[in-house]
Chain A
Amino acid sequence: EVQLLESGGGLVQPGGSLRLSCAASGFTFSSYAMSWVRQAPGKGLEWVSAISGSGGSTYYADSVKGRFTISRDNSKNTLYLQMNSLRAEDTAVYYCATIMVVVVVAATPAGYFQHWGQGTLVTVSS
């Protein structure tokens, strides 16, 4: 059974940093591209970042580019999201998800989100 368990969320002041983790089990972690998707309180879903199975390629939404860094440790079956220069508008539940890659356009893989974690809440407030 695929399991994704996020951790690391919490309350942080504007301008601060936080690192989220997502522990994966039940599948061959290194074979899957992974992603972070967030959901602000009462709002819809927003893709944040993605990373290839090897970790060699990373992708970001414009809203977080230059502030967030996605990475993975395939030896630990763990996905990370380092979040710097946090803003109030980054307040959200952050989900990690597996990506089933279907298409590659302009060297960018994309697909649907097959399995999701339960999410971790990040609150940016003074």
Chain B
Amino acid sequence: EIVMTQSPATLSVSPGERATLSCRASQSVSSNLAWYQQKPGQAPRLLIYGASTRATGIPARFSGSGSGTEFTLTISSLQSEDFAVYYCQQYNNWPSMYTFGQGTKLEIK
């Protein structure tokens, strides 16, 4: 069974600075990886799919990179509305076809 590990668990960053979130897969998932943002009391929102493609309406300050087992979500200049929990999800490996990471909480420094 594939395991998705996100780091760090909590990231403290000041508004306007860059945030870098990591996601590691226990085995290769090719580029079949998505990132989601979840704010308190809200449903998750798709940010990135295919490891690096922004979903419709997602600002350009969000970017994804990586392939295989190592992935990164970068937010270039943090806005107040970006402080949230971020999840990665792989969709490559059978039978664990929909596996999420445990999440990274991005908080204001």
Contacts and interface: CB of A to CB of B under 8 A. Distances in A.
Interface residues of A, number: 26
Contacts of B36: 45, 113
Contacts of A114: 46, 55
Interface residues of B, number: 26
Contacts of B94: 105-106, 108, 110
Nearest to A114: B46
Interface in A9-51: 35, 37, 44-47, 50
* Chain B CB within 10 A, most for which of A37, A50, A109: A37
A117 B87 CA distance: 17
Contact of A44 (B32, B97, B101): B101
A68 interface: no
A66 interface: no
A1 B5 CA distance: 34
A95 B44 contact: yes
Given A44-B87, A102-B32, A103-B32, A110 B46 contact: no
A23 B55 CA distance: 23
A44 B103 contact: yes
B71 interface: no
A103 B44 contact: no
Contact of B91 (A103, A115, A116, A119): A103
B99 interface: yes
Contacts of A117: 43
B98 A110 contact: yes
B65 interface: no
Cβ-closest 6 pairs across A and B: A47-B98, A110-B97, A112-B34, A116-B43, A105-B94, A110-B91
Given A110-B32, A112-B34, 13 more contacts: A35-B98, A45-B44, A45-B87, A45-B89, A105-B94, A105-B97, A110-B94, A112-B89, A113-B36, A113-B44, A117-B43, A118-B42, A119-B43
